[in-house]
Amino acid sequence: MNTIAQLLTPSSIALDVDADSKARLFEQAGTVFERSAGLPRAVVSASLAAREKLGSTGLGQGIAIPHGRIKGLAKATGAFIRLAAPIAFEAPDGKPVQQLFVLLVPEHATEEHLQLSFRDKLATAANGQDLIELFRAWEAA
């Protein structure tokens, strides 16, 4: 089982979520983490929004990996959110985002979140097949 699968539970998956902006998406993500991990939704939303101000976490191909650091969090936790309709996310390819893996890590985490997302490789993938190959290689490791 890969690391992402270990971070997900049925209560951390939300499908066909209504959100028409990043701000609304982050509020909805806060609700998911409140339900699945007992985290205060406002804290989650604020953390995700603060990180997003540094630059878009949109990867392209309709995918984004918003992430944030949470004070007092013991270990990384994640959620998968599929939006009912795609939203603008300033992704490198300019395409709106509809599928998101949201990652929260402890405040003092080092590279754990980078290893989980391997964002740089995903951001430079030229097409969907390249993304699939990245995931296959990662799962086999």
Residue 13 structure tokens: 């998956």
Taking a C-beta distance cutoff of 8 angstroms, is the pair 83, 19 a contact?
A: yes
Annotated active-site positions, please? 67
Q: Give me the helix-helix angle, 41-53 and 22-37, nearest 10°.
A: 140
The pLDDT score that the predictor gives to residue 123 is 66
The pLDDT score that the predictor gives to residue 1 is 45
The pLDDT score that the predictor gives to residue 108 is 76
Digit-by-digit pLDDT tens for the chain (141 residues) are: 457 778 889 999 999 999 999 999 999 999 999 999 999 999 999 999 999 998 899 988 999 999 999 999 988 899 999 999 999 999 989 999 999 999 998 887 655 545 555 655 676 777 777 777 777 665 544
Q: For 3-140, which CATH class?
A: alpha beta
The pLDDT score that the predictor gives to residue 141 is 47
The pLDDT score that the predictor gives to residue 81 is 96
Taking a C-beta distance cutoff of 8 angstroms, is the pair 83, 13 a contact?
A: no
The pLDDT score that the predictor gives to residue 110 is 55
Taking a C-beta distance cutoff of 8 angstroms, is the pair 139, 5 a contact?
A: no
Domain ranges of the chain: 3-140
Place of tokens 């993304």: 131
Question: Using CA atoms, how far apart are residues 72 and 122, in angstroms rounded to an integer?
Answer: 29
